[in-house]
């Protein structure tokens, strides 16, 4: 069930740009509209483009099921770990302990409208990356399982 040559060439040229745009939407979630869920859906669109353009036997070596399953589990564990790290430092569960301090993402924000700075917003960019990795793995796994279950029938 391969597509024609135009579709394959288009998918070959387009998927790096879609992945870079999705990673930009994930990383700048605290400055512009976007965030974890939206950026993860955009990156999963790049995986869906490659899966649709080629047949399933060619794609199963590139986008493997084991890698996507591990990616989804690591994303959820990182999200919970960011909440437990606040329990270790001192304070309630999911406390934003990096905001307004001097550590990794902790520069204070001047009040009112301002051009944004990437260094702000505490533990929120870490949670954005974790949720983005989880949504990317989850949506790619759903597509791969549905396609393999459909092609095993044969008709």
- The CB-of-61 to other proteins minimum distance in angstroms stands at 20
Closest CB to other proteins among residues 54, 97: 97
Query: 109-128: which residues touch other proteins (CB under 8 A)?
Result: 109, 111-116, 120-122, 124, 127-128
* Tokens at 120, concatenated: 């702000």
Give which of 146, 18, 136 is closest to 74, Cα–Cα.
136
Closest CA to 147 of 60, 18, 89: 60
138 interacts with other proteins by CB under 8 A:
yes
Query: Applying CB under 8 A, does 153 fall inside the site for other proteins?
Result: yes
Residues 33-92 within binding reach of other proteins (CB under 8 A): 33, 35-37, 72, 76, 79-80, 83
Nearer to other proteins among residue 90 and residue 149 (C-beta): 149
Q: Is 23 exposed, middle or buried (0-12, 13-18, 19+ CB in 10 A)?
A: middle
The minimum distance between CB 66 and other proteins, in angstroms, equals: 13
Query: Three-state DSSP class for 66?
Result: helix
Cβ atoms of residues 66 and 121 within 8 Å: no
């Amino acid at each position: 069930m391969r597509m024609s040559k135009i579709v394959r060439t288009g998918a070959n040229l387009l998927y790096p740009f879609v992945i870079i745009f999705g990673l930009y939407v994930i990383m700048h979630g605290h400055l512009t509209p976007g965030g974890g869920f939206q950026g993860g859906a955009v990156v999963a669109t790049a995986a869906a483009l490659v899966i649709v353009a080629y047949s399933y036997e060619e794609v199963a070596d590139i986008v493997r099921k084991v890698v996507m399953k591990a990616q989804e589990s690591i994303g959820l564990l990182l999200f919970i770990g960011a909440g437990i790290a606040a329990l270790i430092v001192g304070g309630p569960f999911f406390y934003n302990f990096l905001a307004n301090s001097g550590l990794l993402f902790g520069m204070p924000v001047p009040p009112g409208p301002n051009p944004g700075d990437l260094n702000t917003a505490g533990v929120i960019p870490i949670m954005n990356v974790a949720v983005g990795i989880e949504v990317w793995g989850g949506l790619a796994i759903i597509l791969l399982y549905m396609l393999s279950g459909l092609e095993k029938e044969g008709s």
